[in-house]
Amino acid sequence: MPQLALLLTTFVWGATFPATKAALEQIPPLSFLFLRFLLGMVLVLAFLLLTRRRLATDAFTLRISLIATGWLFLGYVLQTVGLRSTTASNSAFITMLYVVFVPLYLRRMGAHTWVSNGIALVGLWVLVRPTASANLGDLLTLGSAVTFAAHMVCLERYTRVADPVSLFAWQLLLMTLAMSGTMWWENPTSSMFEPTRVLFVGLGVTGILATGAFAVQMWAQRLLPAQQVALLFAAEPAVAAWLAWYFLGETMDAPGWFGSAMILGGVLLGSIGTDQTSATRSKPMPVRSEGG
């Protein structure tokens, strides 16, 4: 069931916020993103070699991979740079605003969508209670929400008209190349890449686990409309708060429990709405030839 699979990935996505925040104390954002995507690319290419899977190299696949990667690149850069000057709770809340942007882009603005999205967003506000004052980091993070929403819209379309495995692998490869070129703007030093425990944990969560979560997203977006995928991902901050309460002993007050319950309610309400799902689910088109 794709809805359940995506909900399970929220455990990973929720963990990326504190893991990245901690790693940025040692290494600048673009350099960290380079390591993250380099690790993910190596793992995926190793899997493709072991399974003898060939990537599609036709012009169509390369073109849509470039478009999707462009939005993904902007999203991660804006979010990670913004995280250096805002709180993790602000970043989590503002990033989740793609729940609003996705149906706006797609013009799927039915009452069911807005009610479920509204419940989830109000619950998210109650849970994280971001600061009222905005700074540059918040504005950058808002830009990431806009671009992440565009990326989700692209994946809904592209995963149904091209080989999703090739689309997935090309995005990781292109992201790694893009980050390798932009990270030098930060003038990183060798000490920033020192193999510390914090950096290992950050890369393990973002480079290994999040790469697997991204693969699940690619699969699920062939079956689900983009606005439902965005809503399911709204559970990320709630999951992160629950994990911190259970494993780390962090306290969660009554508003926190109430907010997380509202998020879960909005997600469940949106996931059981079959009217828009069936209306927007298109029959997958034949996959383009893989070429050499």
Q: How many CB atoms lie within 10 A of CB 245?
A: 15
The residue assigned the tokens 């729940």 is: 99
Half-sphere CA count of 252, side-chain side, radius 13 A:
22
Half-sphere CA count of 190, side-chain side, radius 13 A:
0
Half-sphere CA count of 25, side-chain side, radius 13 A:
9
pTM of the model: 0.79
Cα separation, 67 vs 22, whole angstroms:
31
Measure CA 101 to chain center.
14
Length of the chain (residues): 292
Residue pair 179/37 in contact by the 8 Å Cβ criterion? yes
For residue 240, the model assigns a pLDDT of 65
Q: How many CB atoms lie within 10 A of CB 182?
A: 15
For residue 273, the model assigns a pLDDT of 57
Q: What are the residue boundaries of the structural domains of the chain, listed by start?
A: 2-186+194-278
Helix segments in the chain, DSSP class H? 2-23, 29-51, 59-83, 88-95, 98-106, 111-128, 136-158, 164-182, 197-203, 210-220, 226-233, 236-247, 254-271, 274-280
Distances (CA, A) of 24 to 11, 174, 206: 21, 23, 13
Q: CA torsion sign, 21 to 23 to 24 to 30?
A: negative
Q: Which two tokens stand for residue 111?
A: 């009452």
**Which residues in the chain show pLDDT less than 50?**
274-292
